[in-house]
Amino acid sequence: MLVLLLPSLGYRGCRLYTQYFIVQATDGFHFYTEEPKDEEELISWYDDPSFIEVHTTTLRPQIKTGPIAGIFDFYQTSSFLNSPDEYSWRISMELTQEELVNLHQGLVNFAKNDPWLSQYQPGAPARIEFLPAATLFSLTKVGTYLGFPALILWLTRYFKTHTRKAIAKSRRDAGLCPHCAYDCTDLPSPTCPECGELHTVSIQ
């Protein structure tokens, strides 16, 4: 028995996820769905001398939001069958790493031909999307819970800190003291003669 665990917030309308059958034979893995058109061929494997075992799994996309799901939903990461190491396998029999890789690639190829799964680009790198509406909603929600004054104070401090760092960097790049903007170019000492702080500008 093989179960592929893909934690997901995605959904397929009102339908349940399709169960997929993986036939392990001496020549590799073969993939089928629970649809009637596959049933006859799937059953015929039990009389085939190359037949080893049938595994079942459910395939679904992975959708995660962050950086703190349910509180700060600024971006969404979506992925599907990126690599055999990015989801959990629950396998009741021993498979080599090569067999896992081959099984994963077979799942990717199978998903690419599935009308629903193919839209999630199986096997492609994870996609990260910024969510403007969710970001605004998250800030509004936190502001409502904690109070908008606290949120505004936090945002003010955040931008103030980043602005201060940007000003200090621009002064340093221009050869000025990042603290008082005194010209520290080619000074013999790392200490600013104007304010007494370390200017971090190259010295002679």
pLDDT tier at 7 (50, 70, 90 boundaries)? very low
Burial of 108 (C-beta count, 10 Å sphere; 0-12/13-18/19+)? buried
Span 53-57, mean pLDDT? 83
pLDDT at position 63: 80
In angstroms, how far apart are the furthest CA atoms of the chain?
A: 91
Residue 12 pLDDT greater than 60, yes or no:
no
The pLDDT tens digits for 118-137 are: 888 888 887 888 989 888 88
The pLDDT tens digits for 13-52 are: 334 566 788 888 888 888 888 777 788 888 889 889 999 8
Percent of the chain's residues with pLDDT above 70: 82
Span 93-114, mean pLDDT? 83
Residue 58 pLDDT greater than 50, yes or no:
yes
- Tell me the pTM: 0.53
Question: Is 184 within 8 Å of 176 (Cβ atoms)?
Answer: yes
Strand partners, 57: 20
* Alpha carbons within 13 A on the beta-carbon side of 185: 5
Span 85-97, mean pLDDT? 70
Write the secondary structure of the chain as one string of H (helix), E (strand) and C (coil): CEEEECCCCCCCCCCCCCEEEEEEECCEEEEEECCHHHHHHHHHHHHCCCEEEEEEEECCCEEEEEEECCCEEEEEEEECCCCCCCCEEEECCCCCHHHHHHHHHHHHHHHHCCCCHHHHCCCCCCEEEECHHHHHHHHHHHHHHHCHHHHHHHHHHHHHHHHHHHHHHHHHHCCECCCCCCECCCCCCCECCCCCCECCCCCC
Across the chain, what does the average pLDDT equal? 78
pLDDT at position 183: 83
pLDDT at position 50: 92
Percent of the chain's residues with pLDDT above 90: 2
Domain boundaries, the chain: 2-61+82-122
Residue 93 pLDDT greater than 50, yes or no:
yes
Q: Which amino acid is at 151?
A: L
- Residue 119 CA to residue 111 CA, distance in Å, equals 9
Question: Is 184 within 8 Å of 204 (Cβ atoms)?
Answer: no
Span 86-97, mean pLDDT? 70
